[in-house]
Structure 1
Amino acid sequence: MIDLSLLNETTEILAPNFSPEEIESLGKIIFPKYNGHKAAGVKNHITMSSRKAANALVQFLNTSKKTFQLIKLIVEMDDSTLNGKSITIEGLETYLNKLAKSGIYYDFKKRKLHHSKKNALEMINWGTLKDGKTYDITVMSLDIVGNSKLVKKYGTKTMEKVYFRLRSFVEQKVLDYEGRIWNFAGDGGLIAFTSKNHVTRSVLCSLDIRATLSVFNIHPDIPIKDNITLRLGLDTGKIKFFSDTGHIVSDIINYAAHLEKSGTVPGEISISENIKKELPTKILKIFSDKNMFENMNSYSTV
């Protein structure tokens, strides 16, 4: 048996995406003798709504301890066919995200469901994104200012210790805002956010990193006297996801990286016009320095 709220979420994903007849067919795939009317306690000649049919199937399979099979089937029905009809499941990412937060996630490569909160938190796809599909994603590019000079002054080995501690510092902040580090190569990296309110969460995360970097710099474990200064650039839009994030090709990623490296002064954060459009006024007031970068408006903290 799984949590009642997740059973409700499973009903909610089924009802708008499948007709009562299709829900019956799903039940028979898992349980060949399944009868939706009998499960719902109504006579065969009575027409059921999709919601009633979905609730009956969810409750029946939960009692039969086959809920995981239903969740797996729902995920695998996306972009497939059922009874000769093409199926696209709206809201699937949101549904999978809720499952992942409860410790249940679907491994698209192995086509298996797993139950592990730790793994779900660490998965590069949040336990919800499917290779080859396009999603709304916000990316943050982050870089140490003057890294070459620091390496020359303190040496590679010492700076590698700084990089390690910086990644740990950034990673904790990113997880607090439900983001993921897609790449971190020593002096900087690429961070991604998706799902509900991802634009706002990404900007709040960048502001949190900037605000608490001074605490990082005075920590006794940081083996250099110079303060670390960062630049951060953010953009948002449609990105085709792949688990091998190093091979994702995207204008959104490119713009965020270019904006950070060439359009942001040390110690500050720059956001694209796409980001600005999604931010609440209260946050937007912080980005009062308007500029033109690569023929697009950008906005920076001052």
Structure 2
Amino acid sequence: MELRHLRYFVAVAEELHFHRAAERLHISQPPLSQQIRALEAELDVLLLERNRRSVSLTPAGSVFLHEARAILDAVEAATEAARSAARGESGRLAIGFVGSAMHGALPGVLREHRLTHPNVALALTELPTAGQLEALASGRIDVGVLRPPVREPGLAFATIQTEPFVVALPSDHRLATQEEVALADLVEEPFVLLSRREAPGLHLSLAEAMSAAGGVPRVVQEAREMQTVVGLVAAGLGVSLVPASVGDDAHHGVAYRPVAGTAPVVELALAWRPDALSPVVEAFLVTADPG
């Protein structure tokens, strides 16, 4: 039995007329009659009562019509689901992200993707950079959202946001009264930073910025998450450099000031495995592309 047999039978059962059913199917009537007889022979069941004037369904034919319609509907749904998945319009996408990404471009990207791909289920996990690299390698996540620079063989990267660093100061700090702060004025200050293991790219960018200003950051405390860094600054443990988008969210006890002169910048990037580039991942990359 083939799907065409079911389609032929449904057409005849709905039209109750072989000639009209043949026209609907764009075939001639004799082959249609032959296919219906072949179907009945295969089932060893009479599906249609025929006489010179009319065609009607037998009780078995009525039951078979219901089941045939269900099968054809299921095949159509399965076909559309497969095509949708091939276009990246449905499926599951696992994304790992650094916490600071939620202050930046990531919420907008997620919002746009949900609007354009509502049938893709997103599984979001906050992970430090090191954890994302491990999860990408093992296949636990499909896409990472992290802070470059990161050097990892087998991964591809695409920048989705570039923004300046700003200085985070305790609100009662002597430099908090200034409109902007020179990095050279921070050389002797205690720093609170994300740990090098959790955020190597951000750590390196900050170290390079301070080196260009003539010093090395004196790190007194490291933290695993950006919100913890900001909280420790508010507690007066030190100062920090954070992405400008983090500074967009007011935090009691913290003053954010622009960097004087040309501010160092920090990037937010997507990371993925080119050897595991599914249609769902590819569609997300297109959505996130700022160009």
> Larger relative contact order (C-alpha < 8 A, sep ≥ 6)?
2
TM-score (norm 1): 0.27
Q: Which has the larger radius of gyration?
A: 2
TM-score (norm 2): 0.27
